[in-house]
Chain A
Amino acid sequence: MSEDDERQQYPPPDLEFASNKARNCNSTGSGSGHPEFQSTYPDQVLENVLENVLHFLTSRRDRNAASLVCKSWYRVEALTRSELFIGNCYAVSPGRATARFTRVKTLHLKGKPRFADFNLMPPDWGAHFNPWALAMAKAYPWLEKVHLKRMSVTDDDLATLAELFLGFKELVLVCCDGFGTSGLGIFVNKCRQLKVLDLIESEVSDDETDWISCFPEGESNLESLIFDCVECHINFEALERLVARSPSLKKFKLNRYVSIGQLYRLMVRAPQLTHLGTGSFSPSDIVGQGDQEPDYVAAFAACRSLVCLSGFREIIPDYLPAIYPVCANLTSLNFSYANITAEQLKPIISKCHKLQTFWVLDSICDEGLQAVAATCKDLRELRVFPVDPREDSDGPVSEVGLQAISEGCRKLQSILYFCQRMTNAAVIAMSKNCPDLVVFRLCIMGRHRADPVTGEPMDDGFGAIVMNCKKLTRLAVSGLLTDKAFGYIGRHGKLVRTLSVAFAGDSDMALKYVLEGCPQLQKLEIRDSPFGDAALRSGLHHYYNMRFLWMSSCRLTHHGCQEIARAMPRLVVEVIRSADEEEMDDVVGTLYMYRSLEGPRTDAPKFVTIL
């Protein structure tokens, strides 16, 4: 469930192209795996040894480092890299990637920037999977796994994956769109070795294809089937038969069109499950649904290996006691669709001693969070989402809940907290109580909101976080913030790689502090903050080290962005325009810029101008 897998993304494979131009083995980027000189016998032996050794190197950071040692190591590393990670699909072309790495079995590819999730980017901006699918079909017919995030995938692409890669085993689509149930149908039908199909927070259009029935007959190798985001009815009988013939199925997450009665029938066929998404967790509307209410408790009790529970999409809280038998073993619980009260949560959470990941709605209030803090001493990740995501609604959670969590869950590493009010004191307390924090994302939903107790900006709170949490790599700020907060970040946030800023800061100085002070900064996303061209200029020394910079509704001008584009040829500077922006208007609506080896992309739509 974690969004943050930033640990292994720096430096990327293409970094050496930009910063090591002197190395003639990569200046043209051909990166061919074939030696251009005659190697002597001892060299050949050394290469073979190296190849065998490098096979053991899995971390891509280590691999990137190894590839820089010398030509020979570069070549061998390229031959032995089987898992290819590309953090920005436009940073490098499919052709270049497949030319350098010839034996890839797994591809990770990321497309749109995160703010696209919140409708800040028009549709059809790009990030099409299609050119990659075609390139890999030629270069890696043995490809087994594809993980995509925020890419546009078509039904044809799904067909390509299933038809052209005979041993294809694993498809994971996170926050993707562009395909529908008919594409899924073709994919599952043709992909005979399929082990994993995970559709996570993706948009799937309903083409009224019964894709569940498209799974081939006979025993299936399925280990993971996740489709909780698919907003269409499914053929339940076909699903039941599928589960019955999938003995290896361990991860199974249903969508909200599966009732609790249907869940029961599936669970009794799959007691070996480790990860379960329960679907609606409420009864269906069908009249006369059999005689007896099934024994849900027994069904859960039979799943002795269950460690991760989610779903509860339309929960009837009366059924919650059914999950009591598995609570003690749960390491991950996702209630973020369950509008339950503190009273309804308490009997559950009091049994969840091993819980490490907990996602929940703020309907549980501060009181519910106190209950979490009392029991879940091993908690590593907490996400609190708002039931009512408006700026002016009543906030059921506040600094009280945050304080309680900080006191009870000392091992906390990652937090995402939506609230209507927060005090510096509580944030400072968390910075001191939870030194292991790696991810701190606080969203005070009212814009420019100060500390309600002191009336001060939230500068000191976030300052304490960057000062005290020495492992912090990801930070999202909110509330009333002056330049001072950014001064703290620049001074102390030395490990920060991802920073999200909205409605904050007073002047260009704020952005300057960050760009000049944070050497590890990779991803910077800013909206509605008063930063202009001068601030942008202050990051020129660093932009080649970053994956991207996003600035929307700030104070940039075309002129300023043009300057950057001229100064940095390997940077693609995209200005994304709204329809009613005047062509002549110098104000930039959205700036999205990223390093790339390929120059301006050829698939940019009309509303994107590449400077």
Chain B
Amino acid sequence: MESGCSKKLLDLIPQEKKWGFIENQNGISHGSSEEKKLELKLGPPGEEDEPLVSFGYFSSMKSNAKQAHNKFPPAQEDHRGGAVLTASWAKNHHHQPKPPNCSQKRTAPGPVVGWPPIRSFRKNLATTSKLASESPTSLPHKVAIERKPAAPETRGKGLFVKINMEGVPIGRKVDLKSYDSYEKLSTAVDELFRGLLAAQRDPSADGPKQEEEKVITGVLDGNGEYTLVYEDNEGDRMLVGDVPWHMFVSTVKRLRVLKSSELSVINLGSSKKGKMVQN
């Protein structure tokens, strides 16, 4: 296999090796800055020194702008797929005139138009279906209590959801947009309810003194006295922490802090399966 004439191209890419894309869980690749050069970009040519990437025909460009928007997501979101094309056919083209003795056999110089031969509507599978199947443990389940759909309020740019704690008659509201992780949310739960909870506690002999407020911890890992659960957009009750944070934020409607000991009463996950499989 000869390297052919495009030495410049090949120097950038180690032969027979992966491109050095780091794939995170979502399968979205983040390349190094060199690989960034090779990314398909939406836009006219001339923005880079040489068109390292093969562009091809943009078949929906003719009239269906809306359709195009659906069918061909902007290249920045889709680093994979040799043949997801964004620039128009009239611009950069794979077939650059080459000297006749240039071997056709080049090893992986870049994504090629129409290769592998997969039709475009089969291409974005990894994004859509992976997101869907990424929550294998958050099973939709039945809860034998009346459920009221609790819509989060968005004031300005915040995402406020109600949060209630078992044993505390007064609820709070949290702005989920001001947190970016479960840990921060867990800390917030402690901040919101520690005082209220202490105020509720019976000043009994074996409990902590009234002045001492007990820190609320372990709401995420099941080790604490309390566990954080939420209600999602279908009204199902779910354990907090299974799905990626951004996914949680998009589906959560309200939060509850329940006693960990009470959780076995509410069958998380089992009753749904039992209902489904009747064979």
Contact = CB atoms under 8 A, between A and B. Distances in A.
The 6 nearest A-B residue pairs measured at CB: A288-B149, A118-B114, A339-B129, A205-B64, A578-B93, A205-B67
Given A318-B273, A443-B116, 12 more contacts: A118-B117, A121-B57, A287-B233, A317-B136, A337-B129, A361-B125, A389-B122, A418-B116, A553-B94, A553-B95, A580-B96, A581-B97
Interface stretch (A15-23, A186-194, A319-327, A466-474): A319-327
B81 A390 contact: yes
Contacts of B108: 391-392, 446-447
A92 interface: no
A339 B126 contact: yes
Nearest to A590: B95
A357 interface: no
Interface stretch (A245-253, A290-298, A424-432): A290-298
Contacts, number: 216
Interface residues of A, number: 81
Nearest to A344: B133
A286 B233 contact: yes
Given A315-B132, A324-B279, A448-B107, A337 B62 contact: no
13 contacts: A121-B57, A123-B61, A180-B64, A203-B59, A283-B234, A297-B278, A315-B133, A316-B135, A339-B125, A389-B81, A390-B80, A392-B108, A393-B80
Most buried by A among B83, B126, B149: B126
Interface stretch (B84-92, B166-174, B190-198): B84-92
A579 B96 CA distance: 11
B136 A318 contact: yes
A534 to B, nearest CB: 13
B276 interface: yes
Contacts of A313: 128
Contacts of A578: 89, 93, 95
B27 interface: yes
Interface of A: 115, 117-124, 177, 180, 201, 203-206, 229, 231, 282-283, 285-289, 291-293, 295-298, 313-319, 321-322, 324-325, 336-340, 361, 385-393, 418, 443, 445-448, 480, 502-503, 527-530, 553, 555, 578-582, 585, 587, 589
B277 A119 contact: no
B115 A119 contact: no
Contacts of A555: 100, 104
Given A118-B83, A177-B59, A448 B1 contact: yes
Contacts of B90: 579
A122 B56 CA distance: 8
Contact of B118 (A287, A296, A317, A385): A385
Contacts of B93: 578-581, 589
B253 interface: yes
B182 interface: no
Contacts of B266: none
B218 to A, nearest CB: 28
A59 to B, nearest CB: 30
B264 interface: no
A324 B93 CA distance: 49
Contacts of A337: 122, 125, 129
B95 to A, nearest CB: 5
B130 to A, nearest CB: 6
Contacts of B91: 579-580
Contacts of B259: none
Contact of B151 (A283, A287, A317): A287
Contact of B133 (A339, A385, A581, A589): A339
Interface in B48-92: 56-64, 66-67, 70-71, 80-83, 85, 89-92
A124 B62 contact: yes
B157 interface: no
B270 interface: no
B104 A529 contact: yes
A315 B131 CA distance: 10
B140 interface: yes
Contacts of A336: 122
Contact of B117 (A229, A319, A443): A443
B209 interface: no
A119 B116 contact: no
B132 to A, nearest CB: 5
Contact of B60 (A203, A385, A527, A528): A203
Nearest to A320: B276
A360 B42 CA distance: 31
Given A314-B128, A321-B276, A391 B56 contact: no
Nearest to A280: B132
Contact of B121 (A229, A291, A581): A229
A365 to B, nearest CB: 14
A338 B116 CA distance: 19
A317 B136 CA distance: 8
Contacts of B58: 119, 123
A231 B119 contact: no
A280 B180 CA distance: 30
Most buried by A among B66, B91, B94, B129: B129
A589 B95 contact: yes
Nearest to B51: A580
B29 to A, nearest CB: 9
A123 B276 contact: no
Contacts of B162: none
A582 B58 CA distance: 21
Interface in B146-160: 147-149, 151
Contacts of A393: 80
Contacts of A229: 121
Contact of A118 (B115, B125, B130): B115
A475 B132 CA distance: 36
A67 B141 CA distance: 67
B104 A530 contact: yes
A94 B264 CA distance: 73
A297 B279 CA distance: 9
Interface in B11-55: 18-19, 27
Given A288-B149, A503-B104, A390 B111 contact: yes
B113 interface: yes
B6 interface: no
B66 A205 contact: yes
B177 interface: no
Nearest to B279: A324
Contacts of B136: 317-318
Interface in B201-237: 233-235
B92 to A, nearest CB: 7
A229 B120 CA distance: 12
B246 interface: no
Contact of B277 (A282, A292, A297, A480): A297
Nearest to B21: A392
Contacts of B132: 282, 314-316, 339
A475 B144 CA distance: 58
Contact of A293 (B92, B133, B272): B272
Contacts of B60: 123, 177, 203, 205
A288 B235 contact: yes
Interface string B226-255: 000000011100000000000000010100
